[in-house]
Amino acid sequence: MLKYTVRPGNTLYAIAQFFGTTAEKIAQKNGLNPPYTIYPGQVLELPDEDTASPRYYVVRPGDTIVGIADRYGLEIDDILALNKLENPNIIYPGQIIRLTK
């Protein structure tokens, strides 16, 4: 089961777009009613059957390229190439990394 913790400024629609699903499917999975009010710190379950690897990822403390690749079923070399990263050991919290084309 894939979960996402809401951050300040997130909208349900943006979260859905990021994960390749719809706001309505996330709302249904979490028992939300229109206007789909969400709040920072809220943990949302994402519909497993629809979610795809996000196009971008925001690095969190403790993340590694290997861990990110494993989490989304991606190749390390592909992530390195997409982001022109020479050293896979140097990423920073808050850095935005492209995962797919």
* Cα–Cα distance measured from residue 101 to residue 98, given in angstroms and rounded to the nearest whole number: 8
- Global pTM value: 0.55
* Cα–Cα nearest to 3, from 31, 35, 30: 30
What is the CATH number for 73? 3.10.350.10
- 4 versus 52: the higher-pLDDT residue is 4
Return the CA Rg of the chain: 15
pLDDT at 50 over 60: no
- 63 versus 51: the higher-pLDDT residue is 63
Residue 64 lies in a domain: yes
Residue 51 lies in a domain: no
Q: 10-20, pLDDT tens digit by residue?
A: 899 888 877 77
* Cα–Cα distance measured from residue 12 to residue 59, given in angstroms and rounded to the nearest whole number: 20
62 and 38 assigned to the same domain: no
- 51: confidence class by pLDDT, cuts 50, 70, 90: low
Q: 67-97, pLDDT tens digit by residue?
A: 988 888 889 999 999 999 989 899 998 898 9
11 and 37 assigned to the same domain: yes
Identify the domain containing residue 10 by its residue range: 2-46
